[in-house]
């Protein structure tokens, strides 16, 4: 059974059909890639899935639950976490606090308990710290916990963004070009991290990527978008060797 099932998703901006009849089925535990040339509509698909845009048509089902027209925050509560192409961290907050904001909806105490520092505040803050440090250790960021997030080197910022999203305990993780701007070494390390996350957090991952090495290295299945339409979907090697895909990327 598919964890994420998207049927007939479409959106237009003015006269431009940015995404047209997009379909995808992602099984639990799968590492799925979404590729395509610049401007193909990949990020628009992510924005549709996370409620940043409302689709004109189509249905998005997560675990058989319709999340199509929900708000961004509610979609996250249903279990969709995402990262951004251009990193969006809380730059002035510390690395630790970035992850703790991610834990927001998992540890509840109210404003008065917070202001008056009641025992529940102390207990839950301690639990949040432990949980946040556990996540930071996974990404080898625990040494930088007290730095402000904006001061981290680029590669670590990417990792922190993933850690923050994982803190919300999602079922499905959407990664928008996680390797953008990384050197080959960092990309390799990132591949390991993504695999590790999939295995250790039992995560289902959909990622947008340009780096073909990364895609062919870790994705089991691919969907190729071109001009908002699906060009081809299927098993990774078959897709990458398809003549239509090569044409879309390299031209005739």
Partner 1 sequence: MKDKLKKMPKTWLDNLITYGMVIIVFLLVQMFISRGLVSNLLQGLLVPLCVYVILAISLNLTVGILGELSLGHAGFMCIGAFSGAFFSKVMADIITVTAVRFTLAILVGALFAGVFGFLIGMPVLRFRGDYLAIVTLAFGEIIKNVVNALFVGVDSRGFHFSLKDSMSLGLEADGDVIIKGALGIIGTPRNSNFTVGIVLVLITLFIVLNLINSRDGRAIMSIRDNLIASESIGINVTKYKLMAFSISAALAGVAGVLYSHNLNSVAATPKNFGYNMSIMILVFVVLGGIGNIRGSIIAAVVLTLLPEMLRGLNNYRMLIYAVVLIAMMLFNWSPQILAWREQHSIKDFLRKRRKVQ
Binding residues (CB under 8 A) for partner 1: these are 50, 52, 71-74, 76-77, 81-82, 84, 88-94, 96-98, 100-102, 104-105, 107, 109, 111, 114-117, 121, 124-126, 128-130, 133, 142, 145-146, 164-165, 167-168
Closer residue to partner 1, CB minimum distance, 59 or 101: 101
Report, in Å, the least distance between residue 181 CB and partner 1: 18
Report, in Å, the least distance between residue 91 CB and partner 1: 6
Structure tokens given for 127:
């639990």
Alpha helices in 87-181 (DSSP H): 95-102, 111-115, 119-138, 154-167
CA-nearest of 128, 136, 187 to 161 is: 136
Closer residue to partner 1, CB minimum distance, 12 or 94: 94
Closer residue to partner 1, CB minimum distance, 114 or 184: 114
Whole-angstrom CA distances from 156 to 58, 87, 140, 141, 182 are 36, 11, 9, 7, 11
Closer residue to partner 1, CB minimum distance, 11 or 96: 96
Report, in Å, the least distance between residue 229 CB and partner 1: 26
Give the strand order in the sheet containing 172-176: 80-82, 172-176, 204-208, 31-35, 221-226, 229-235
What 3-state class would DSSP assign to 8?
A: strand
Closer residue to partner 1, CB minimum distance, 143 or 153: 143
Report, in Å, the least distance between residue 84 CB and partner 1: 7
Structure tokens given for 170:
């999602």
Max CA pair span of the chain: 68
Closer residue to partner 1, CB minimum distance, 23 or 72: 72
Report, in Å, the least distance between residue 105 CB and partner 1: 5
Q: Give the separation between CA 246 and CA 252, rounded to whole angstroms.
A: 9
Report, in Å, the least distance between residue 158 CB and partner 1: 13
């Amino acid at each position: 059974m598919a964890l994420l099932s998207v049927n007939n998703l479409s959106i237009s901006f003015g006269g431009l059909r940015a995404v047209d009849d997009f379909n995808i089925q992602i099984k639990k535990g799968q590492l799925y890639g979404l590729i395509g040339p610049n401007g193909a509509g990949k990020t628009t698909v992510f924005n549709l899935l996370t409620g940043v845009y409302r689709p004109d048509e189509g249905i998005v089902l997560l675990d058989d639950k319709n999340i199509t027209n929900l708000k961004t925050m509610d979609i996250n509560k249903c279990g969709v976490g995402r990262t951004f192409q251009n990193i969006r961290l809380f730059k002035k907050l510390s690395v630790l606090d970035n992850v703790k904001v991610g834990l927001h909806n998992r540890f509840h105490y109210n404003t008065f308990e917070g202001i008056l520092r009641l025992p529940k505040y102390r207990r839950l803050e301690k639990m949040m710290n432990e949980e946040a440090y556990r996540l930071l250790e996974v990404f080898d960021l625990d040494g930088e916990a007290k730095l402000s997030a904006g001061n981290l080197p680029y590669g670590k910022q990417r990792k922190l963004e993933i850690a923050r999203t994982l803190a919300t305990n999602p079922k499905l993780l959407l990664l928008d070009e996680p390797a953008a701007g990384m050197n080959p070494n960092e990309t390799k390390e990132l591949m390991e991290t993504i695999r590790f996350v999939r295995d250790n957090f039992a995560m289902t991952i959909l990622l947008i990527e340009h780096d073909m090495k990364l895609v062919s290295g870790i994705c089991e299945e691919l969907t190729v978008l071109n001009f908002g339409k699906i060009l081809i979907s299927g098993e990774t090697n078959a897709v990458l060797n398809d003549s239509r895909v090569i044409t879309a990327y390299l031209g005739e």
